[in-house]
A and B are shown apart, each in its own frame.
Chain A
Amino acid sequence: MTPVDTKTSPVPAGRARAARDRGRARSPKRTIEMNLGPQHPAMHGTLRARLTIDGETIVKCDPDIGFLHTGFEKLGEYRNYNQVITVTDRMNYLSPICNNVGFAVAVEELVGIDVPPRGQYVRVIMAELTRIADHVLSVGLSAMDLGAFSVMLWGFIQRERLYDVFEAVTGARLTTSWTRVGGIFRDVPDDFRELVIESIKELPALLDEIELMLDRNKIWLDRTKGVGVISQSDAIGYGLTGPLLRASGIAYDVRRARPYLCYNDLDFEVVTETAGDVFARYKVRLNEMRQSYKIVHQALDKLPGGPVNVESNKVVLPTKNEVYTSMESLIHHFKLTMGGHGIKTPVNEIYSCTESPTGELGFYLVSDGSGVPYKVRIRPPALLAFQIYGDLVEGLLISDSVAVLSSFNVIAGEVDR
């Protein structure tokens, strides 16, 4: 029997054919391009990644964003400072109050005023409740993407309880538009303390149960440990902040590093993990919720009385009762709301940052002295997080890229603005 000449024979036989097929699978010609998103359910909103795949392995990933671009920064240049607050909660719709607080703090820093202690504490309590609502959903969704559906449902029960508090305090569940420059639009209800304590009563048990469910789960561990590892130098270089950075072992938290409101008076830890993988991010979020629980209880115990707003009608609108009965208040009301007037700001610029659940949320405000900002630049933590995604998933399986994405907690509204 003569051996088959693999070079000349059109159909190589047996082992030679297998070798040729293996070679083809590795050759760049066999890679195909594939869209992940923008309508894919695992792509969290309207994110899209253009993948070049070889079998199940991602060779190249080119994230594409902008499907939800709404021009918030342009809109901010045409709305007065209090109106921009309504824009900010459409940005990160999972943690609207953190965004409201962030923008209000930025304008207050620009004007140079401090909110009274009660206003600060109430803001902190609500911001921490929002952080819990965001993290519990983020952990739940990342578990759901990897097949543990019940974690998401448990998380949603907790989130509903928190949203009931938001509804009672702000009047809205999602687009809260709660803060105003110089305070908040009204004081919290009388039963605020009971409402809040009741809403997070079962949180510690829930977190323990989630840990019990996932931490010894073989599938969960296999799919999260060692997947999507971000090194410390990458995390800093790419400008990551929030749970992503802390999961890589860097204890940077705006609440501690550049404290705002009353965070200096509160006792909490900056949670870190060292592994930098999907599992570490999940752990950081879980433990951060425990810290937030602690902060909320402390702040409720320390909650002072007094006004929530700055006592000056140059910044804060007078109450309706005053407007109808006193001429001075009526003038203040008009001065604050009429076009061409509004809050007096120095002709200068300021960068102010707060810790939102996704990371350092920054507002860079340039003022021309009028009641309307000259420029509102939003530093979105999720944009910088999604930037590293393309590099990180190269070489991973498609299913792992889903695990990595859900651990990032990327909010499309914040990325695209």
Chain B
Amino acid sequence: MAARRDGLVLKDEHTTSTRGAGAAVVATDAILEHLGADFKIQGRDVFHGQTTVILRREDLHEFVKRLKDEHGFNFLVDVTCIDYLKHPKDHPERFAVVLHVGQMIGPLRLRIRAYIPEEDPQAPSVLDLYPAAGWLEREAHEMYGVVFEGNPDQRRLLTPDDYDGFPLRKDYPLKGRGYRDMFPKYFHIPEE
């Protein structure tokens, strides 16, 4: 804790927050040391007690499998992607897939991030490990255009089946791209 001149009491970002106990960070570190022998961990970041691991996408599936089998990370919290197109920090690739995995009975949570190049937007699916991944990956697929290899169901989940474009990409405008142009099947626009 450090009181600033303006009176705002901020927690130091390297100390743990009320949510993630300090012991959890130590335990996560031990797990990462153990797994780090077999995987090339690209980076690691601790922020307010939450650990982020950056992996190569080839390692992603095997890493999660080892976490699940050996360390009891049986709870897939979330799967999503990030588009770093307009992010102020430098990132090696435009996209990243982000997995949150945790222990259902147990305090540990881990965020796993793997960068995905724009020209080859593919990521390994974890559907065979967690059935929960099915719809989460479908949503990430339709919103960012990242293909999850190993997930047989890649239909659009929230947007209509014939929707064109990936709405959560940073170069997709907020107002959309013209509703009528997007569904030629339903809106016949006569040519001038």
Contacts and interface: CB of A to CB of B under 8 A. Distances in A.
B interface majority secondary structure:
loop
B77 interface: yes
A351 B158 contact: no
A367 to B, nearest CB: 10
B18 A112 contact: no
A364 B87 contact: no
A211 B47 CA distance: 47
B37 interface: no
Contact of B100 (A66, A69, A260, A364): A364
Interface size for chain B: under 10, 10 to 19, 20 to 34, or 35 or more residues?
35 or more
Given A112-B10, A377-B78, A416 B98 contact: no
A5 interface: no
Contacts of B109: 351
A109 B78 contact: no
A134 to B, nearest CB: 22
A66 B76 contact: no
A17 interface: no
B157 A65 contact: yes
Interface in B96-154: 98, 100, 104-105, 107, 109, 111, 130-132, 134-136, 139, 143
Interface string A110-145: 111110000000000000000000000000000000
Interface residues of A, number: 56
Interface stretch (B1-9, B56-64, B179-187): B1-9
A258 interface: yes
Interface stretch (A8-16, A70-78, A93-101, A399-407): A70-78
B52 to A, nearest CB: 7
B135 A362 contact: no
Contacts of B28: none
Given A360-B77, A388-B131, 12 more contacts: A65-B157, A113-B11, A114-B18, A252-B104, A252-B105, A259-B18, A260-B18, A311-B7, A312-B7, A314-B6, A350-B50, A362-B77
Interface of A: 65-66, 69, 71, 73-75, 77-78, 109-114, 234, 236-239, 250, 252, 257-260, 310-315, 346-353, 360, 362, 364, 366, 368-369, 374-375, 377, 379, 383-384, 387-388, 416-417
21 contacts: A66-B157, A73-B168, A111-B10, A112-B11, A112-B48, A237-B131, A239-B130, A257-B107, A312-B6, A313-B6, A346-B13, A346-B47, A347-B88, A348-B13, A350-B47, A351-B50, A352-B19, A362-B78, A366-B82, A368-B88, A416-B158
